[in-house]
Structure 1
């Protein structure tokens, strides 16, 4: 069975092109999500890896849809290989773990994808440093209402309940707690 996986990084991006390409490639089942490239928080990817069975082939449109680091890529491919599942990229036709040539291409392209991510991160850090030096960088906007956290705590709500109610981590609650006394 051909199984597809599609991903975009943010909720305002569109999955349509990837879904169409995977369907055209013959995928009988497709898992899709709008989530960052880090593998730990991608529920649909985890469901996909649990779903595939021996003899299946997992398809993605591009390698960076599956992994952004060589380590993550190898961990995922090892998990797939251990289940007897192949892997292919539609746009990088040479990437096919069912062939020796494809395995070589996969290693090369995985390294290039990680290199591009590192370059992007480096350029971003340089831009932020320059903006800070010019006094133009104010940081990101606050995502958590610190005043609301402290109001709830003052009303007697415990930190765990505050975290659940606001959809944040307990650590964030503790970090924002105003010192008493």
Structure 2
């Protein structure tokens, strides 16, 4: 692999080529670190303003309550509940776990 800059070709095996490759690598690493730092700073500002909430739940609070009523009644399997509420089974399990955890915490 060789690097062509402004008409001159540099081989990474010679000293000048190695210097150029190292400088380019350092610039790329600096740019990556700068992007990461700015992203963290932006997320911290958004969190402080209350705008960073993460992914929204698939089910609204009334839907979660209804799911728990049907779940506690024991008339449907988890797969049937998932199909009924148009969500994945993991969402049903997670909702049940959160609701049971909230109930135990009270």
TM-score range, shorter chain: 0.3 to 0.5
Looking at secondary structure, tell me which structure has more helix per residue.
Answer: 2
Q: What TM-score results when the alignment is normalised by the length of structure 1?
A: 0.29
Larger Rg computed on CA atoms: 2
Name which structure has the greater RCO, CA cutoff 8 Å, separation 6+.
1
Q: Counting strand residues as a fraction of each chain, which structure ranks higher? A: 1
TM-score w.r.t. length of structure 2 = 0.46
